[in-house]
Amino acid sequence: MQQRADMDYKYLFVTIIFLLSISLNSQIMPSNYGFAGGPERSTSTTSVLYLDASNSSSYSGSGTTWVSIGSTNFNTSMLNGVSYVSNGDFDYMSFDGSNDYVETSKTASNLGFYNSDYSMEAAVRFKDVGSDNFIFGTQTSSTRQGLHVGARNSMVYQGHYSMDGASASGTLSANIWYHIIWTYDVSASEMKMYLNGSHIETDTGRTSFLGTTSLRISLGMSNRYANIDLAYAKVFDSVLSTSEISSLYSDYDSVVTRAGYVYGTVNENGTLNLSAPANATITSVSFASYGTPNGSDGNYTTGSCHATNSQTIVESYCVGNNSCSIPATNAVFGDPCGGTLKYLYVKVYYTH
């Protein structure tokens, strides 16, 4: 009997240890969860640069070091005030379009796309579509040596300098998240662009990139800083296949629609248009003020002039919908401060 009791105690001890290990693992996993939360899983082709604001192996949540966790790890530097925004499963870096960017200290030769095939991928939101907003770039203005890949006005854009390609005007809108992939095939002299998993543009007769200066994120050509939010960016030293592109978009789509915020501002007598990702629903209003609110990029506070009904009115327009359009007028909100130019600032939360 004593031997049987000893065996029972041993079994109980092992069981307790096993259950504790399950509990501990379940607590640890979310800290490394995001768009790609850990090792890349959608493609057998590993990226040579991979910066991910949602992955704790890439960004710790503080400081100015953003680690590339592609085929080899290396540090990049966030310069001049790049800000990190914690956003549930969907964290991102916010760039103000003034002077902030990321210095990789890696050239095209280091990353394998000098005079060669490449693909570049980004999960990005453009805060305006009336200027150049390049995600990948170099500071050179010479033919085939000035990389500028991102957006020009409302076009998806891919440039080597005087060897450029672009989608149709009106492709992009402000304040909407996009998944974009650009590819370059050196043997075909061909650029291709993919938006949210769909092929949207092919440009032929474009010769390869020959730049030798370092790659920068959110800065390209002649100090053109991008006004963007960037969740992640990748560079591959090969042309991704259509199946790989589809898988990468599926990964993006499964997370971007899960939960997050959209926000915006508009002047009095304008209309504020807010859109959650496809298949997502606006579930609450985190901030709303018609009057003289303060702040930028979703970090808003009320000012000395504030319509007290702002929250309930915005909720009536937005909650339960995928998108909403709110007139910023006295007819809708009343006039909280006569004779003063007013603004509408709104931030809403969506879930899938």
Annotate 210-238 with b (16+ C-beta within 10 A) or e (fewer): bbeebbbbbbbbeebbbbbbbbbbbbbbb
Ranges for all domains in the chain classified under CATH 2.60.120.740: 259-351
Q: 143: Cβ–Cβ under 8 A, 6 or more apart, which residues?
A: 160, 161, 162, 163
Question: pLDDT at position 1, please?
Answer: 46
Question: pLDDT at position 30, please?
Answer: 25
Superfamily of domain 259-351: Rhamnose-binding lectin domain (RBL) (2.60.120.740)
Q: How many CB atoms lie within 10 A of CB 204?
A: 11
The count of residues in the chain is 352
Ranges for all domains in the chain classified under CATH 2.60.120.200: 32-256
What average pLDDT values come out for the chain (352 residues) when binned by 10 residues?
44 39 29 33 76 96 98 97 89 97 99 98 96 96 96 98 97 94 99 98 98 98 94 98 94 79 94 88 96 93 98 98 97 98 96 80
The architecture that CATH gives domain 32-256 is Sandwich (2.60)
Question: pLDDT at position 156, please?
Answer: 99
Which DSSP string do the residues of 184-243 spell out, in sequence order? Answer: EETTTTEEEEEETTEEEEEEES-PPP---SPPEESEETTTEE--EEEEEEEEESSPPPHH
Claim: this prediction has a pTM higher than 0.85: no
Q: Between the CA of residue 213 and those of 25, 52, 138, 189, 204, what are the distances in Å?
A: 43, 23, 6, 22, 25
DSSP 6: H
